């Protein structure tokens, strides 16, 4: 990405040398991770209220909210 001099990461506030522009925010490459599982992205991500997440993490969250993850006895 084209960074302005002294552009800072939205997460760690450090000056970015290798970064990502996503959701209108600048991130260090190491700070641009899923806000649910904290793992890096290997491809696309989902915008959840302005925060990047894996689609699988979003699906798991929806299952928990709907009760689909509970064991049936």
Q: What is the pLDDT of residue 2?
A: 61
List strand residue ranges (DSSP E) for the chain, in order: 19-22, 25-28, 46-48, 51-53
Task: Determine the Cα–Cα distance for residues 6 and 54; give it in Å rounded to an integer.
Answer: 29
Q: Specify the pLDDT at position 61.
A: 52
Better pLDDT: 3 or 15: 15
Between 16 and 62, the more confident residue is 16
How far is residue 70's CA from residue 42's CA, in Å, rounded to a whole number? 29
């Amino acid at each position: 990405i084209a960074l302005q001099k002294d552009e800072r990461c939205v997460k760690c506030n450090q000056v970015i040398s290798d970064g990502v522009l996503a959701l209108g925010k600048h991130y260090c490459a190491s700070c641009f991770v899923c806000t649910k599982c904290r793992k890096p992205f290997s491809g696309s991500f989902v915008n959840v209220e302005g925060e990047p997440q894996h689609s699988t993490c979003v699906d798991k969250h929806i299952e928990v909210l709907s009760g689909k993850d509970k064991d049936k006895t």
